[in-house]
Structure 1
Amino acid sequence: MAERQLNLYATFAYNEAYFNLSDEERREVRRRIAEEAPTVAEATQFYSIFPARCDSDFLIWSAWSADTDDATEKALTGYATVSEGWRRYVHPTQTLWGYTRVSTYARGKSEQDMDPFDETRGTYFVAYPFAKTKEWYLMSMDARQGQMNEHIKLGKQYPEIRQLLLYSFGVQDQEFVVAYETEDLPKFSDLVYALRSTEARRHTALDTPLITGIHRTPEEFIR
């Protein structure tokens, strides 16, 4: 696996021109997206969004290795070029992206870490941006580590829930993007509820919008 990865979660909504098409024509639009999206990334996954959100119909998760200086330019330029052909029938509603890196607070890799290049994916996918307060960064490293230890310990009580943390400092409005995979959304909701009671919660400045999707194979997406 690459030392550093670029991951992009893009949500799209079908527009009026799409819904004015016949059933077969709409299927052809979806087929084109399903065939073209994987050509610009090293790994591509599709998720249905509506009716979990009313502003988006589907999400595409794209991942690239990002170990070279020009990796991001090639990835984003290629994505923009290919997706331009879809824009007659869909428009982007949200893009969240960032890079993987070694965690500041956790040692080594965890069995709960998500690998974007795994072929097997969880049924449910949840992603959202978040940012910390100014006060968080002015605390000592020991103080922050103590609060994060509580956070990490709680997360390990839900070993079946996997996560991927992206760093977006300086490239998007948020500082992080966190994504989860699970087979049990109620249990995932329990985890998030429990995390709200940790001390680190005092220093959360942003943690919306939440995007929840159901994994679809390309064939299911086209159907």
Structure 2
Amino acid sequence: MTTLVPSVTTQPAEAPAPTVRQYIRYLFYKARPSWRQLSPDKRAEARSELLTILEPFAKQLAVLRAFSTLGTRADADFVLWMVSERLEDFQELQAAVLSSTMGAHLDTVYSYLAMTRRSQYIDRHVHAEQEGRRTRVKPTGRKYLFVYPMVKKRPWYRLSLEERQRAMDEHIRVGHEFPRVKINTSYSFGLDDQEFVVAFETDYPSDFLDLVERLRGGEASAYTERETPIFTCVAGSIDEILGLLG
């Protein structure tokens, strides 16, 4: 006698939802001499037009913040810090800026593109709002922002994970000595010319200066190929930042 065994269909396990990551862009502008040759009324009208253009992007993007570099850099006047889950948002914003009256008098002098990613080095270092665990950017609203691109030397990537972890443990411990400075590390591998873009938020520039000096002596720093240009940026509303251009 033959016993029939009903077939069992195995349902494939559902794949875990992918971690939501964000794109980050730092876009630096400088006003051309032609901007200040316009009459005050024409400049005011152009600033108002650009503010109106940027208003919907402030709602559309996860982050849209403005900072002035007037007086801290000779080659840039202001920066827009943008965060979004859509790369196309950056394209649309830049197209809108360049099509405006004021945009015709602005040069894009620097642009850095990156993404969020969970750091592989932070599991031994746990504290509230741990940088490196987050894949979403949460600005603090502090007054000063220090931004720079970074490239590591290729021998860094040939070290074992254990060797790199040891160097980064030291690096992270030093960072914890400066709690008034918040770091935002983003990753650019294959997206842009640099490998990382690092942004530090603080109300105390002296803390940032002391932090950077301390980090220079660390093991991880010896594997840094480049971490310039460095931008010292002062926060303000978009209206205030554009107003500084006259």
TM (norm. structure 2) is 0.81
Give the equivalent residue in structure 2 for 1:42.
Answer: 62
Shift of 1:171: 1.2
1:32 aligned residue: 49
Find the residue that maps to 1:7 and give its secondary structure: strand
2:69, 2:55 → 1: CA distance? Answer: 19
Q: In the alignment, which of 175, 190, 195 is matched to residue 170 of structure 1?
A: 190
Aligned residues: 215
**Cα 1:121–1:35, aligned 2, differ >3 Å: closer, same or farther?**
farther
CA distance in 2, matches of 1:142, 1:200: 13
Is 1:12 matched up with 2:29? Answer: yes
2:122 is the alignment partner of 1:106:
yes
Alignment gaps of 5+ in structure 1: 66-70
Structure with bigger gyration radius: 2
Letter in 1 for 2:148: Y
Does 2:219 correspond to 1:199?
Answer: yes
- Is the 2:25–2:90 Cα contact (8 Å) retained in structure 1? no
Distance 1:64 1:194, change over 3 A: same
Aligned residue number for residue 3 of structure 2: none
Q: Select the residue among 86, 108, 111 that pairs with 1:92.
A: 108
Alignment counterpart, residue 78 of structure 1, candidates 81, 86, 92: 92
Please state if 1:58 is matched with 2:72.
Answer: no
How far apart are 1:31 and its partner, in Å?
Answer: 3.0
Instruction: For residue 23 of structure 1, report the CA deviation from its aligned partner.
Output: 2.1
Following superposition, the deviation at residue 21 of structure 1 comes to 1.0
Q: Structure 2: any 5+ residue segments left out of the alignment?
A: 1-18
In the superposition, the TM-score normalised over structure 1's length comes to: 0.89
Q: Whole-Å Cα distance in 1 between the matches of residues 241 and 44 of structure 2?
A: 9
* Offset, 1:35: 3.2
Match of 1:215 among 219, 227, 235: 235
Aligned-pair identity (%):
29
Distance in structure 2 (CA, Å) of the matches to 1:168 and 1:178: 10
Instruction: Give the Å deviation of 1:110.
Output: 4.9
